[in-house]
Every structure is written in structure tokens, then in C-alpha cells.
Amino acid sequence: MKKISTSQNGTHDNKWATPRLDKACMEFDKIAGPSKLPMPDHFPASLKDFLARIVKARTPADSMARFRRFLGASAGRDGFWLAKKPMTADERDAWVISQFQAINDSDKKGGFFTEDVWLAMGSAYRNWWQDQKSAKARESAKKRK
């Protein structure tokens, strides 16, 4: 659902469609907290902005490699339950390449990451990266015992 303009001059004042929904969303933000993702200067943002602000690896090459691993891990997840069989490694690699091609094409036209895509992919990446760090910590703890 999109926010609508409720002012007379047509400016966007960050209100939802109804006052009741606006109040419910404010209550939800109090419980869940607003997004803690760093935002770019403008939307649509580029892949370079996403890698610098969300992925934040030591080098740009490390950021790109980590982002590729993330895309590979989430490949085809939207249609997973509808798929007759899981994706093979080759299909997953082809899907990641096609996603990078789409991102690069959109960057040439102004940017791939709209605010919605930024928030969704940024949150998914952060959750995935937290899981990766936790798994690495568990492995380290097992080796110490």
C-alpha cells in the first residue's frame, strides 16, 4: 500500500490512506522500530551506493563478491514453492548473472535501487549477513572445544 497526499496543495506529507491505518503503522514502528538502514542521497540509487552503504566490505571487490554470494543464496526464492524441482548450481549462477545484468542496465538509466527495493534488499542482505557471521562464529566455537 502506498502513502498518499492528504494536503490540499498535493504535496506528500507521509500519511497513509486512512487515519486508522496511519495510527496502526505508527504503533508498528514503535514496536518494530524504523529501518536502521543507511539511505542514499537520492533514489533511484546505484549498485555502487548499495555496496558502499549496505554491504560495506573492506574493498569494492570484496563487496561485490559478498553481494554475489547473497544473490546466489537467495536465487529463485520467490518462486521456490512453485518450482517443481530446486535450482541447480548452473541455473543459480545464470540467475545471478542475469540479475547483475539487470542492475547494471538500470544503473545506466539512472539507478536500480528504488526506495522499496533498497529497503527490501538491504534488509534481506543484512539478515543473510548476520546468519553468515553467526554460522562462522559457531564453527569457530566448535573448533575451540
Say yes or no: 11 and 81 in one domain.
no
Q: Are 115 and 72 members of one domain?
A: yes
25 and 57 co-located in one domain = no
Does 68 lie in the same domain as 93? yes
Q: What is the pLDDT of residue 10?
A: 47
pLDDT value of position 12: 46
Q: 39-43: which pairs have CB atoms within 8 A and are 24 or more residues apart? A: 39/118, 40/113, 40/118, 43/111, 43/113, 43/114, 43/115, 43/118
pLDDT at 11: 45
pTM attached to this predicted model: 0.70
Q: Is residue 53 part of a domain?
A: yes
Q: pLDDT tens, position by position, for the chain (145 residues)?
A: 555 444 444 444 556 677 787 777 766 665 555 568 899 999 999 999 999 999 999 999 999 999 999 999 887 655 544 556 677 889 889 989 999 999 999 999 999 999 989 999 999 999 999 999 998 888 888 888 7
Domain range enclosing 105: 47-144
* Within a domain: 63: yes
User: Do 22 and 16 touch, CB atoms closer than 8 A?
Assistant: yes
- 41, part of any domain: no
Residue 39 lies in a domain: no
Same domain as 74, residue 24? no
Same domain, 70 and 123: yes
- Whether 25 and 90 share a structural domain: no
pLDDT at 24: 75
